[in-house]
Structure 1
Amino acid sequence: MPEDLSLAALGLDVVPALRPLAYPGCPAPWPALLTGDELLPLGVRALPLGRWSVAGRALDDVLGERGQAPVGRRHPVIAVGSNASPAQVAYKLLRRGISAAVPMVPVTVRGIAVGCSAHIARAGYVAAAPYRADPAAETSLVVSWLDEEQFRAVDETEFPNYRRALITGDDSGLVLPSGEKLDGAYLYVSSFGILTEPGAGTPRPGGGPQATLLASLLKASPRLRDLLGPDPASWVRRAAADPAVRESGARVFGEESWVLRQPGFLPYAGGAAGL
């Protein structure tokens, strides 16, 4: 493990909201405590997450000394896009004056895959979105534990383009590296559906390089080339500058018959922190 654990030194400091073609950014590479500008490794123990170690001390103790809520009073949230990026999470929280102390742990999730939301985000990129996949399929996704204030802030960045769903551990595995099983976690599901492969009707894979995705969409649709082309750089520039352009692009997705409404996610209907 390197001595300098700053996001910059780790190569994890690119914020997709500020550099749209870098979307989805770099996910947390190992279990860690994000502190804002650093990513401190978590020592995995065969104990509840709050008792995992940060530089030889229990995570809950470290959070408490910072005046932050322990793990048991936090919401576990699965990220499929840029919310897996420590830099993006820190950016979202710190610009609102909120603590960016967030435990982040890569977890294998069963039955959920990463696609592309059928809308264009404010920053100009086409964001990732989850969809129901083969129940036996496994995907490595980052789970973050957000306190109440952080949770509300992240909600604000996701709505109305995404709605929050509740995923149960029985359905999706959700086993931490320690062997501890989560009862459930929250997940943001696209309000617009997901993009399909042109002519195939199957979900278009998400999570890859944004420039590659946008170039593929431009190649497949003369209407998108007229609206957002000729290249990915012009796409994000035009889309970020004008909400009407973003809305028109989303309409083209539907008119090209590229949108799949993905059922199977239960909308969140209330509950307590600390799932």
Structure 2
Amino acid sequence: MPWPLPSSDQARLTLAKGYPYAAPAGSYLYRDGETRALDGGADAGLLRDRVPVIAHGSNRAPEQLHRKFSHLAGAASEIPVTRAVLADHDVVYSAHMTRYGAVSATLHTAPGTRVTVFVTWLSEAQLPRMHETELGLGNYGYGRMDDIALAIEGGPEISEAYAYLSVHGCLADPEAAALPVALAAVPAEDRVHRSLDQESALALLRDRHEPAAELDGMILSNIADTDKRRRLIKALQDTAVPWQVPGFELLQR
């Protein structure tokens, strides 16, 4: 099952507007809800026999990992998370709203852009749980990215990794409809897309699809009403920018 939503309106609004949540300044090891900095040399063995999955949205954040993996304890809960720079891509908004009211992230090709991401190194036992939280509602597909330039902090550049990408396409920029909108919370060099913070992205959805609504009310009603949220997602899909990630092979939905 996906992780439970908070019950109070204020907590729900904080969750929705806080996406993609705070991430450490560098690579870290998650364990039992706590983090410590990773040493690229001394901790290199922690990555062995693990699956590198690019975390371009909330999965980079310790608090989101805790929501998803709080049922694990001790060594079974350990997830090495390395900071990295992905060349020729950007982190942009997906053309959908999550069940917790945020506009979430996906990747899109962006020649010349270097975007900061994280890589969660998941064990074979942890990967099914991540699939459950990412694939369970049909918003993302899991696959392999080949022929990429992904520079791991304190480590090598790797050419292959895995990722969850939105099946809905990218949220279209109303000021440049053929382009997606980047996440302002995710640093990038030589970014070509306009960037917005989460609250501004939510306001964009409100202005397009429910202009008479107060922003908090729009967010809360879409969290509470699954059918309403599905209608919103369908409307967003109708104007979405088709995602472009050359070298991505879809493995599971």
TM-score strictly above 0.5: yes
1:214 to 189, 194, 202: 202
CA distances 1:71-115 after superposition (whole Å, capped 9, x unpaired): 221101111110010110121011477943110111011111011
- 2:85 corresponds to: 108
Is structure 2 residue 68 aligned with structure 1 residue 92?
Answer: yes
CA distances 1:141-161 after superposition (whole Å, capped 9, x unpaired): 011100012111111111121
After superposition, the Cα gap between the structure-2 partners of 1:240 and 1:96, relative to the gap in structure 1 and judged at 3 Å, is: farther
Alpha-carbon shift at residue 265 of structure 1 (Å): 4.8
- 2:107 corresponds to: 130
- 1:230 corresponds to: 214
For 2:128 and 2:181, locate their aligned partners in 1 and report how far apart those are by CA, in whole Å. Answer: 30
TM-score normalised by structure 1 residue count: 0.74
- 1:266 corresponds to: 248
Give the ranges of 4+ consecutive aligned residues of structure 1 lying more than 3 Å apart after TM superposition. 15-18, 95-99
Moved more, 15-24 or 192-201: 15-24
1:81 to 57, 60, 74: 57
TM-score normalised by structure 2 residue count: 0.80
Alpha-carbon shift at residue 214 of structure 1 (Å): 0.9
Is structure 2 residue 120 aligned with structure 1 residue 120?
Answer: no
CA distances 1:221-263 after superposition (whole Å, capped 9, x unpaired): 2x3235xx321x22321111111011111122244x3x01123
For 2:95 and 2:72, locate their aligned partners in 1 and report how far apart those are by CA, in whole Å. Answer: 28
Is structure 2 residue 23 aligned with structure 1 residue 41?
Answer: no
Letter of the 2:91 counterpart: V
Identical columns (%) = 24
Letter of the 1:241 counterpart: A
Letter of the 2:28 counterpart: A
For 1:248 and 1:96, locate their aligned partners in 2 and report how far apart those are by CA, in whole Å. Answer: 36
Alpha-carbon shift at residue 43 of structure 1 (Å): 1.8
Q: What's the secondary structure of 1:178's corresponding residue?
A: coil
- 1:241 corresponds to: 224
Letter of the 1:177 counterpart: E
Moved more, 201-210 or 119-128: 201-210
Contact 2:108 2:243 in 1 (8 A): yes
Contact 1:81 1:207 in 2 (8 A): no
Letter of the 1:162 counterpart: Y
CA distances 1:198-224 after superposition (whole Å, capped 9, x unpaired): 1522111125432121123323x2x32
The structure with the larger Rg is 1
Structure 1 gap ranges (5+):
1-14, 46-51, 54-58, 61-69, 271-275
For 1:25 and 1:157, locate their aligned partners in 2 and report how far apart those are by CA, in whole Å. Answer: 17
Letter of the 1:163 counterpart: G
Structure in which a larger fraction of residues adopt strand: 2
For 1:215 and 1:234, locate their aligned partners in 2 and report how far apart those are by CA, in whole Å. Answer: 11
CA distances 1:170-214 after superposition (whole Å, capped 9, x unpaired): x32112223423241111110000011115221111254321211
Cα RMSD of the aligned pairs, angstroms, is 2.4
Contact 2:27 2:83 in 1 (8 A): yes
Where do residues 173-184 of structure 1 align in structure 2 (5 Å cutoff)?
Answer: 173-184=149-160
After superposition, the Cα gap between the structure-2 partners of 1:43 and 1:234, relative to the gap in structure 1 and judged at 3 Å, is: same
Alpha-carbon shift at residue 37 of structure 1 (Å): 2.2
Contact 1:16 1:82 in 2 (8 A): no
Contact 1:167 1:184 in 2 (8 A): yes
How many positions carry a matched residue from both structures? Answer: 226
Structure 2 gap ranges (5+):
1-10, 186-196
